[in-house]
Amino acid sequence: MTDAAQPLTIAVWQAASAPADIDANLAALDAAAARAADAGAGLLITSEMYVSGYNLGAAVMRGLADAAPLERVRGIAERHRIGIVAGGPELIASEVGTADGVAVANSAWLVDDRGTVLAKHRKIQLFGDLDRDMFVAGDAPHTIAEFRGLRIALLICFDVEFPETVRAAARAGADLVAVPTAQMEPFSFVNEHLIRVRAWESGVYVAYANQHGPDGDLTYVGRSVIADPLGEHLAEAPAAGEALIFGTVDRSVAERARAQSPYLAEVRAALLAPDA
């Protein structure tokens, strides 16, 4: 980790994914990346399963994963010289519930501004039958990579609702936790309250990029947010409609927050998790 890391402007893109239309979603992502880069952002964060669509069923999702849609994000990042966190399906080797040793993960990739994949996170906390019917769970509590001198951790949707995951990322040195999500009704309190608490209690920035609008029998609540380590919302998107919101990740703010609320330094981790 580079102590002298410069502040980084990030963009969170709230958008409605076109179900099972990878080409349309990538075209919209290309346009959003151009807007974010033109506005000075160094990193763009998209929603959960944005590249493919989400509420599609196992058979459709497997077919979309076969097309390796997240690979195509690399060209967008390189073309616009902006890092991208993108969500979509990923084929992985798995002996769990598969006949051919291959399964689909609900994944988020961190791609740098040259198109290099820095990190791949697979959702570890699958949400009910919706996720379990389509995906196998990942096994990493968080995934961290360095980008422009800052350490960026990836979590996906339900992952961030468990305090242990964010705390583990913070203890591993994360400056920012980037969270693609597809938060749905009736859980808007997560967007409005819980995300800022996660940021405050672990002294990290949390960027939460949501979908919006209807998706089959689901309705996404929008309200994407960027929260700083002091527990403040730096930016908020509305409940409905596409939005591109911005915030700045500044390590000095995190240092000030951790001095004010020293949970990371004071927690008796060995006592609370003696087997960890």
Closest by alpha carbon to 209, among 246, 172, 167? 246
- The Cα-based distances of 41 to 26, 33, 235 in angstroms read 19, 9, 14
* Phi and psi angles of residue 148, each rounded to the nearest 5 degrees, phi first: 50, 40
d(CA 148, CA 132) in angstroms, rounded, equals 35
Q: Which of 78, 90, 95, 123 is catalytic?
A: 123
Judged by DSSP in three states, 45 sits in: strand
Q: Please classify residue 230 by burial: count the beta carbons closer than 10 Å to its beta carbon, then call 0-12 exposed, 13-18 middle and 19+ buried.
A: middle
At position 274, the amino acid (one-letter code) is P
Cα 111 versus chain centre, distance = 12
Is-catalytic flag, 157?
Answer: yes
Q: How far apart are CA 13 and CA 244, in angstroms?
A: 5
Catalytic, 48? Answer yes
Q: How many CB atoms lie within 10 A of CB 21?
A: 15
Q: Cβ contacts of residue 23 below 8 Å, gap of 6+?
A: none
Handedness of CA 212, 22, 44, 183 (dihedral sign): positive
Active-site pick, 71, 90, 146, 157: 157
**DSSP per residue, 210-271:** --EEEETTEEEE---EEE-TTS-EEEE--SSS-EEEEEEE-HHHHHHHHHHS-HHHH--HHH
User: Of residues 48, 90, 161, 236, which has the active-site annotation?
Assistant: 48
* Catalytic annotation, residues: 48, 123, 157
